[in-house]
C-alpha cells in the first residue's frame, strides 16, 4: 500500500474509536482492534473490558514497569485506570452474556452484508481459535469489525455470504477497512466514508457484495 492511498491500520482503528460514545464499556479483540485504545477521542470516558476479567484497563505498560500478572485479551501487559476492578472468568463472561458490553471490536476474515462474520477458522483447517469471539459477537450490544478490504491475493473480504464458518449471524453494525467505512444493510454494504486515494468504482470492484452509495460520499473522518 502506498502512503497516500487508503488507511493505515492505526487509522482504521482511529475511525472505529471515533464511533465510541461517552461512558461506553468496550471490548477490543486481538490485533488491529487493540489499537483503538491509542486514539485520542477527547474527553469521552471509555471503560475497556478484557475477557480475562479486567474491567478498566489503560495503555500498555512502559518497558520495565510491567505487572506480569496483568494482561489484556492479546496478552499485552497493560496498566489500570482509576476505578478498575478484577473479576474471574465466569463473571467476566456474565458481563458479556448479560449484555453489559456496549461494543465489541474484532478482526475478521470475512464480513457479509447480512451482518454475518467469520473469524475463528481458516479454510481447510481442522481446528480453530474461538476464544471469546462467539460470546462477544452473540451478546454485545454492537459488533464493529476492522479488516483489510481484500486478501493478500486480492479477493474481497466484504462478501454477500460468508464462505468460512461463521462466528455469529446478523450482528455486524459497522465495518472499517483500509478502503473506507461501511455499514451492512442486508442488501449490500453502504459506503459511508471513503479512504483517501480511492474512487467509488475501485471500491465497488473490490467488494464481493452490492455497494450502496448515497450521494456524495465524505472522506473518512479521522479526528474529533
Partner 1 sequence: MAAPTKQVAGFAEAVRDIPDGAVIALGGFAMPGVPYNLIKALHAQGAKQLTCVANTTGGAQQPRMPDIGMLVENGQVKKVICAFTAATRASDVLPFTKYYESGEVEAELVPQGTLAERLRAAGAGIPAFYTPTAVGTELAEGRETRVINGREYLLEYALPVDYAFVRATRADTFGNLQFHRSQRNFNPVMATAARMTIVEVDEDIVPAGAIDPDAVHLSGIFVHRIVRIPPHPEGIWPQRRQERQR
Question: C-alpha angle 120/124/127, rounded to 5°?
Answer: 45
- In the complex with partner 1, the residue whose CB is nearer, 105 or 195, is 105
Nine-digit cell at 204?
465497488
Least separation, in Å, of the C-beta of 149 and partner 1? 18
Chain-centroid distance of CA 210 in Å reads 22
Residues that bind partner 1 (CB under 8 A): 30, 50-54, 66-71, 74-75, 80, 86-90, 92-94, 96-97, 121-122, 125-135, 138-139, 165-169
Least separation, in Å, of the C-beta of 193 and partner 1? 29
Least separation, in Å, of the C-beta of 185 and partner 1? 19
- In the complex with partner 1, the residue whose CB is nearer, 127 or 215, is 127
- In the complex with partner 1, the residue whose CB is nearer, 51 or 181, is 51
DSSP bridge pairs for 16: none
Catalytic member of 51, 66, 160, 193: 51
Residue 51 falls in the annotated catalytic set: yes
- In the complex with partner 1, the residue whose CB is nearer, 87 or 222, is 87
Which phi and psi angles does 6 have, rounded to 5°? 80, 175
**For residue 220, what are the contacts with CB-CB under 8 A and spacing of at least 6?**
7, 11, 15, 180, 181, 193, 194, 195, 196
**For residue 123, what are the contacts with CB-CB under 8 A and spacing of at least 6?**
163, 164
Least separation, in Å, of the C-beta of 118 and partner 1? 9
| Residues catalogued as catalytic | 51
Amino acid at each position: 500500500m502506498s502512503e497516500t492511498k487508503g488507511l493505515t491500520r492505526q487509522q482504521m482503528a482511529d475511525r472505529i474509536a471515533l464511533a465510541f460514545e461517552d461512558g461506553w464499556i468496550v471490548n477490543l479483540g486481538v490485533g488491529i482492534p487493540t489499537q483503538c485504545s491509542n486514539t485520542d477521542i477527547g474527553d469521552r470516558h471509555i471503560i475497556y473490558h478484557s475477557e480475562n476479567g479486567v474491567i478498566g484497563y489503560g495503555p500498555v505498560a512502559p518497558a520495565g514497569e510491567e505487572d506480569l500478572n496483568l494482561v489484556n485479551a492479546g496478552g499485552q501487559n497493560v496498566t489500570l485506570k482509576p476505578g478498575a476492578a478484577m473479576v474471574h472468568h465466569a463473571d467476566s463472561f456474565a458481563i458479556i452474556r448479560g449484555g453489559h458490553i456496549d461494543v465489541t471490536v474484532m478482526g475478521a476474515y470475512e464480513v457479509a452484508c447480512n451482518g454475518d462474520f467469520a473469524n475463528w477458522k481458516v479454510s481447510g483447517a481442522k481446528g480453530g481459535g474461538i476464544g471469546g469471539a462467539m460470546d462477544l459477537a452473540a451478546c454485545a450490544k454492537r459488533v464493529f469489525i476492522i479488516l483489510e478490504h481484500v486478501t493478500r491475493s486480492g479477493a474481497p473480504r466484504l462478501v454477500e455470504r460468508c464462505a468460512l464458518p461463521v462466528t455469529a449471524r446478523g450482528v455486524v453494525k459497522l465495518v472499517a477497512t483500509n478502503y473506507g467505512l461501511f455499514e451492512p444493510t442486508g442488501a449490500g454494504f453502504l459506503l459511508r466514508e471513503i479512504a483517501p486515494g480511492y474512487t467509488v468504482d475501485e471500491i465497488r470492484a473490490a467488494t464481493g457484495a452490492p455497494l450502496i452509495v448515497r450521494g456524495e460520499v465524505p472522506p473518512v473522518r479521522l479526528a474529533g
